[in-house]
Structure 1
């Protein structure tokens, strides 16, 4: 059992928003880290001390490199490390069912190089049973006994990119093992870099924990989005209502409406559980209803855009629309599942001339399902005044909202940036 020893080397597969911060944290405490990624550009960036994630920065990667972080695209080097941590995407397919091709592809690529004594940890969000049903049989097909020869755990990632209040070190880490020996190794591994490790009884419990966390958020965001629509119809300010309700010192947690759900977790993870529940003859009606409400929010925003333009005797077709913020949440460059992109597509489909401004995303990135040949514009008073409508989709702190309000002809605010009523501002 090598992980419980003092000197180990860690391998992290997938150097994105989850894998890179974790790799830097291991390096910070003196644990040598070998990062694996199929993206050769990420490998080159790390070996050159450059960051490709804006909120992390070059200095952090260069410091990690000096502390023992290196990277490779060669999976045959997996036998050089004592622990392998898998941090790869788990998207949905076109039928909104789990797509495990990255997880399965990764474990299959590692199998020829796994050796006795290694710990393997899956961090990718997935349905309960994935570790036992998909990873364990593949590992044991090599002749290893899980819990004796190789140790297998599930430990869900809990990164919150751009949140300065919490770091990889300070966010408690849930760990479940296939066996008690596996759990012991998992606790030893993460205990080196995380302040609080929370053991649970099984990998299934750990997998379900992550889903509950994100479903809790999805359902409550769905509730407040529905409340926003009702309040709007009644002429009530939903943000005033939320602020008032939040003064209650018990029994209420404030959630805020928006133009739809974004990020890799909340729009995706609930459907991993709904899919698995069907295997047990169960329907997750509450979860699916929240998902439907949240996925419909861009359509509701578009209705508000159309109404706002119509009141000024303009149609969406031919209007010049500036979308403010296209990352999925403020102060990050993460575009995954961003509702702003859906809004851009819907605006374009209705004939609008679309531009965007986002200091975190200077060039519209390559995405699997979306494409715009656009660059972020410079936000000057003259530029803002040249648009028929400014749509606030992501409320980055870097925007000068006072200047925007002064010079914009019309603003549709989906994030509650403007608390006071003004003639050129419409809430959505």
Structure 2
């Protein structure tokens, strides 16, 4: 966008005109030892705490203290159906139908549970395709699935790689892989938004391509949920998983989310691991009945959920429900484009952005490479009051999150970076 301007006055004006500006005040912003707010740009690693989270969690602690086991039915928010309080809001965030979404477990655990159902290797079709620089946990998980099924984890893993001297992946190269090896690939499992480059993939395009060659298709949306419009239902993906502690602000190590497309909702022949929370709710406590599979994503649950973690998720999802993902992504695109504009002012001979230029192909994260820099640059930035994220070998990841970051934040971040580079 060419209508951006330099200078603090412009940034302050943009904040004044921002219809979401009040939301910043309902988050705890970390401060330095002198009580000054830090410039927090790592919502892509851990989202900030909404101020209302404490009340939501305290409500459950109070009900536990006063009611004991009766809280399962008598709490203000009864614990037995508590996960259902999150379903509609989470479905709205990821663009799915309520029957397709469940909050449960943690991210990599959910990935394994999904692969139990959707990785169905045969002697001829057993390979798994991932992006070459997938998040390490995804790579470790799919390699272990290959070994679990008796396959060599090097022979069975196919990597979708960027071309020489490029960072971003091209769909033509994915198509070539599938034309050449599609008949051997059982599963395509891609990070919806790449953690390193910030590239947001076209989920529908990848899914249609995968299905055309008979592959199951799933996505790890850890860096997408709450950041971009995922439209999981429309993508046609077989499954997706995501965490809630990044853009969804639910607290360190909190529960994760899972999507299973509705075409699989009533398929009880799908292989899966089961537990009593995936059993028919009406007869769950009869205890001695034969297993009776729940339909939809709920049918992949195993255990009764941790309520305190769910209360924190609910506190954040209520904010997302209030604002809506569309308004958030509108602000996000403007804020990130402004950030890009300011970084580009510093000159490409010094600094460059490896994240896609097209706002439709990224979320709010920009991955910045500084020529000849090492981690000492990041350390200086931290000392200057900027909380960002260093990834080896030479990338600083910054994510201006629309719920709590401002244009002023972005302006001051770039000014501090400029000052360090000019030392």
TM-score over 0.5 (shorter chain)? no
Alignment TM class, shorter chain as reference:
0.3 to 0.5
TM-score for the superposition, normalised by structure 1: 0.33
